[in-house]
Chains A and B, each alone.
Chain A
Amino acid sequence: MKKGSRPASLKDVPFHYCPGCTHGIAHRLVTEVIDELDIRGKTIGIAPVGCSVFTMDYFDFDMIQGSHGRGPAVATGLKRALPDRVVFTYQGDGDLAAIGTGEFVHAAVRGEKITCIFINNAVYGMTGGQMAPTTLVGQMTKTTPFGRDKDINGFPIKVCEMLAPLEGSAYLARVAVHNPKSIIKAKKAIRRAFEVQMQGLGFSLIEILSTCPTNWGLSPVKAVQWLEENMVPYFPLGEYKTPAGVI
């Protein structure tokens, strides 16, 4: 029995991500699920704009690069033209929750049978650590050097809570990858999201709380502690909606 072996859907190349970046864990979980469901031949992924724009170099199946934030719109077209394919987007918080807010909300409203993998690390990673819509109140970033001020910058977006009342959304869950227990739960949620899509039940979104040690200015070990102490209380983990109804 082997643990930690590379999934067939993940190319054997080194990740370009910074040390301790949890994008690598999220990539592994997504590709493990695709291998387990045996859907590699009919999966199409949409790459975002952001650090994970290079996912197409890592995922060994069909990938398309969408414009900034427009992943769900591209996925909608693909899924409607090729309904037998499994279509998912892999997006960060700057891509999905900022410039792409209209796209994912309306994809959920329409009940598009696609899956969004949403990486929430509370900061703009690739552009150098500016405030993102999900940046916590009081969190210091390049553009909020004294901490995010709720009177000036408002409050962070809670994506899962926002989508749960919409009839078109079928499966919404927020997971994290800061410890082994959370990683196992995250994989189960990702698998469920793909299954919901394959059963044609509606829109599914998995929000993965991730770290950005470089832009948070913390070591990777301290970054996972910061995530647990600060992000998890504000962004509670769990399933927000299942096909059976709102939880």
Chain B
Amino acid sequence: MIKITFREERCKGCQLCTTVCPKGIVVMAGRTNEMGYHPATVTQQEKCTGCGLCALMCPDMVIEVEREAKAV
């Protein structure tokens, strides 16, 4: 189970996360946050592989990707 969370109030809409997602599922939302930016969000969470590249690229620590450890 992969859980991806966005702290939308911290997002400045720079779009760097959208360029690194290998599945292309990170997109900018149509709504705006308190700062007036379109925050990043994910459309098809079931496609997320939990690679965490979006979180690695985010300059503002908006994205957190949580993946349950595989059963051994």
Instruction: Please list the residues of chain A having a beta carbon within 8 angstroms of any beta carbon in chain B.
Output: 1-6, 10, 14-15, 17-25, 28, 179-180, 183-184, 213, 219-221, 224
Contacts and interface: CB of A to CB of B under 8 A. Distances in A.
B65 A3 contact: yes
B61 A183 contact: no
B19 A221 contact: yes
Interface of B: 10, 12-16, 18-20, 37, 50, 52-61, 63-69
B19 A4 contact: no
B57 A19 contact: no
Given A1-B68, A2-B64, 7 more contacts: A3-B52, A3-B56, A3-B65, A24-B59, A213-B14, A220-B16, A224-B19
B39 to A, nearest CB: 11
Contacts of B19: 221, 224
A219 B15 contact: yes
A192 B63 CA distance: 27
Q: Among B18, B19, B63, which residue has the most Cβ atoms of chain A within 10 A?
A: B19
Contact of B59 (A10, A23, A180, A184): A23
Contacts of A19: 12-14, 37
A224 B20 CA distance: 12
B34 to A, nearest CB: 11
Contacts of B66: 1-3
Given A2-B65, A5-B64, A221 B56 contact: no
B54 to A, nearest CB: 8
